[in-house]
């Protein structure tokens, strides 16, 4: 299980905070104005890197095999399909009035500033910078109003909750890969899945701390007043509905492909 602990849940949360031929123009405009389009585009690379690094650090597979598995994972995700699903869910889950409110927010200078920060911080290449800055950021903001605002942000953005689910999904992807290589000599995927799910409560505390670091890093250029304005948007009727629908939609888009990784790997490495 050591390999399953290597995924960095801290750095997944932004990915949780798309157009089809029949997409609503209004929902499409909201997605284009928000940072979600750019963040979702990084999903295949993020999931692939998480699985690849976890396998390499486990020491149980050769780097070449780990890279191959990472590629399989990456190819399991379709950005276009994720975007289309988000559009569909926004059409069904939000009223036109709510969508217009969200669009109005994302067209403000402050929202544009926040979107740039979220996209920049969500890039896999920045993950090591976030980890390196963790201790300094926590010391700088210890006892500050920004620290006290975190619980409101976390609740409104559903950051920790969604990141726990995403981390479990990535770990299940690793478990699928491990089960293929273990064969009859190691635990089955079902056994690994049960163990991962049993650790969800423990994972909650770890993720909350790491999400806090991500929050400090991502929004460090915002003033306290600007951060409060953002949280108020997230807590609003339209902002809350938008966050709920988008996080649920993206969560399904992560979990469904991950569940098929094991069978894909079996066909790849053990062709009949």
CA distance 226 to 10: 23
The pair of structure tokens assigned to 213 is 């670091």
Q: Which candidate, 192, 198, 163, places its Cα nearest to that of 177?
A: 192
Q: Which candidate, 2, 11, 56, places its Cα nearest to that of 167?
A: 11
How much is the pLDDT for 6? 39
Longest CA–CA span in the chain (Å) reads: 62
How much is the pLDDT for 21? 34
How much is the pLDDT for 43? 72
Per-residue pLDDT for the chain (272 aa), expressed as one digit of tens each? 333 333 444 444 444 443 333 446 899 999 999 988 888 877 777 767 766 776 666 666 677 766 776 776 667 777 888 888 899 999 999 999 999 999 999 999 999 999 999 989 888 788 889 989 999 999 999 999 999 999 999 999 998 988 888 777 767 766 766 666 666 666 776 777 788 888 888 888 888 988 999 999 999 999 999 999 999 999 999 999 999 999 888 877 776 666 666 666 666 555 55
How much is the pLDDT for 7? 41
Residue whose tokens read 């963040």? 39
What pTM does this model have? 0.75
| First-residue to last-residue Cα distance in the chain | 29
């Amino acid at each position: 299980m050591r390999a399953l602990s290597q995924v960095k849940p801290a750095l997944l949360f932004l990915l949780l905070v798309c157009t089809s031929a029949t997409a609503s123009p209004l929902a499409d405009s909201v997605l284009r104005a928000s940072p979600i389009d750019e963040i979702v585009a990084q999903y295949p690379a993020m999931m692939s890197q998480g699985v690849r690094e976890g396998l390499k650090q486990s020491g149980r597979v050769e780097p070449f095999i780990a890279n191959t598995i990472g590629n399989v994972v990456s190819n399991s995700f379709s950005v276009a399909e994720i975007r289309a699903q988000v559009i569909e869910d926004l059409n069904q889950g939000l009223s036109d009035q709510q969508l217009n409110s969200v669009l109005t927010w994302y067209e403000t200078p402050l929202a544009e500033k926040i979107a740039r920060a979220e996209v920049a911080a969500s890039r896999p290449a920045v993950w090591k910078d976030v980890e390196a800055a963790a201790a300094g950021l926590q010391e700088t903001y210890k006892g500050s109003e920004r620290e006290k605002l975190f619980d409101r942000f976390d609740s409104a953005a559903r950051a920790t909750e969604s990141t726990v689910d995403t981390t479990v999904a990535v770990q299940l992807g690793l478990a699928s890969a491990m089960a293929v290589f273990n064969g009859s000599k190691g635990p089955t995927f079902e056994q690994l899945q049960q163990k991962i799910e049993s650790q969800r409560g423990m994972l909650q505390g770890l993720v909350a701390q790491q999400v806090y670091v991500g929050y400090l890093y991502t929004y460090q250029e915002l003033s306290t007043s600007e951060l409060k304005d953002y949280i108020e948007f997230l807590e609003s009727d339209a902002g809350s509905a938008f966050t709920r629908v988008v996080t649920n939609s993206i969560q399904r888009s992560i979990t469904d492909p991950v569940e098929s990784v094991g069978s894909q790997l079996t066909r790849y490495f053990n062709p009949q």
